Amino acid sequence: MGGVAVRSSYRPAAVCQDDAVVWVVDLDGVVWRAAQPIAGSAEALNRIQEAGRRVVLCTNNSTYTVAQYRRRLVDAGVKLDRVELVTSAQAAATLLAPGSSALVLAGPGVVEALRDRSVEVVEPAGGIEPPPIGPRARDGRRPDAVVIGWDRAFDLARLSQAQRAVHEGARLIGTNEDATFPTPDGLLPGTGAFLAAVETASGTRAEVAGKPHEPMVRLVRQLVAGDGNVEIVAGDRPATDGQLARALNAPFGLVLSGVTGAGEGAGAGSSGVPADRNASDLAALVAELLD
């Protein structure tokens, strides 16, 4: 596998066969907070690669396209020769059949992943009031699914359109259910907050694609050629990254630079798993394991 390995499709890249050892690393709260890189994270990712490992960047953030992620990583100073990327947008796309349609309340990353899957993207109607008839696919039929991701334009009109589509029989799919999103200025509401609103309004429990759920686990397994090849899963959420580590039969390295702060690393909470390693940030975790 030569050259830049970040892919522009939901389909998993070729299996990492030339290197058995893989690090699975989260992005938000580990490599950066919003647009701000975390000090030492780019150097840490480069050092992992220099040590003969491959890196699978596994993010629940469905907002960005693969090209946008690639630009952000390169701008942060990350070498991409031994890097793969899998997102919750790609995982969500695997839940829909080619030729189906989806009303999308999410960012361009979800639109890209669905179109790569040959799923028709139905845009929500504009305006501040819900339309009398919900958005339709090109053939006039109701959308087959509603896909919820992190949506900057989420409001009452969009919530109403999603609710109506689900009441009319559409499947409800969430890219992830993370309640919060780490930024340099603190936590913002995450996709899970938007998804909970649609679930409550529609009375329907969503199918969730991202970490730690099976669609994402399946994509990661395809990338790493089996559970035993993962040396560690590094992330900032015991409830997602920790559970993913357990699903991959791998150790969990909890970094305290994201949603889990110092003093919270010893326990896992009601929905997480205890960390096998704790570190202040990714650079410290890499130094501990590779020195």
Count CB-CB contacts under 10 A for residue 46.
19
Amino acid at 118: S
Domain limits, the chain:
22-90+212-290, 95-208
Task: Please give the share of the chain, as a percent, with pLDDT higher than 90.
Answer: 76
Q: Which CATH class is domain 22-90+212-290?
A: alpha beta
217 has pLDDT over 70: yes
Task: Provide the pLDDT for residue 8.
Answer: 37
Q: Give the model's confidence band at 260: pLDDT under 50 very low, under 70 low, under 90 confident, else very high.
A: confident
Q: Give the model's confidence band at 17: pLDDT under 50 very low, under 70 low, under 90 confident, else very high.
A: very low
Tell which CATH architecture fits domain 95-208: 3-Layer(aba) Sandwich (3.40)
**What is the per-residue pLDDT across 56-91, written as a single tens digit (0 to 9) for each?**
999 999 999 999 999 999 999 999 999 999 999 999
Task: Provide the pLDDT for residue 263.
Answer: 55
Residue that wins the pLDDT comparison between 147 and 13: 147
Q: Average pLDDT for residues 212-234, to the nearest whole number?
A: 90
CB crowding 90-107: b at 16 or more within 10 Å, else e? bbbbbbbeeebbbbbbbb
Cβ 236 vs Cβ 256: under 8 Å: yes
Task: Provide the pLDDT for residue 196.
Answer: 98
Q: How many whole angstroms separate alpha carbon 239 and alpha carbon 134?
A: 35
Cβ 253 vs Cβ 275: under 8 Å: yes
Cβ 187 vs Cβ 193: under 8 Å: no
Residue that wins the pLDDT comparison between 243 and 19: 243
Q: How far is CA 251 from CA 232, 237, 246, in A?
A: 5, 14, 7
Nearest to 232 by CA among 63, 18, 30: 30
**What is the per-residue pLDDT across 94-137, written as a single tens digit (0 to 9) for each?**
999 999 999 999 999 999 999 999 999 999 998 777 777 788 88
153 by Cβ neighbours in 10 Å (0-12 / 13-18 / 19+) ranks as exposed
**What is the per-residue pLDDT across 143-163, written as a single tens digit (0 to 9) for each?**
999 999 999 999 999 999 999
Task: Provide the pLDDT for residue 130.
Answer: 77
Residue that wins the pLDDT comparison between 39 and 35: 39
Topology alike, domains 22-90+212-290 and 95-208: yes
Cβ 122 vs Cβ 135: under 8 Å: yes
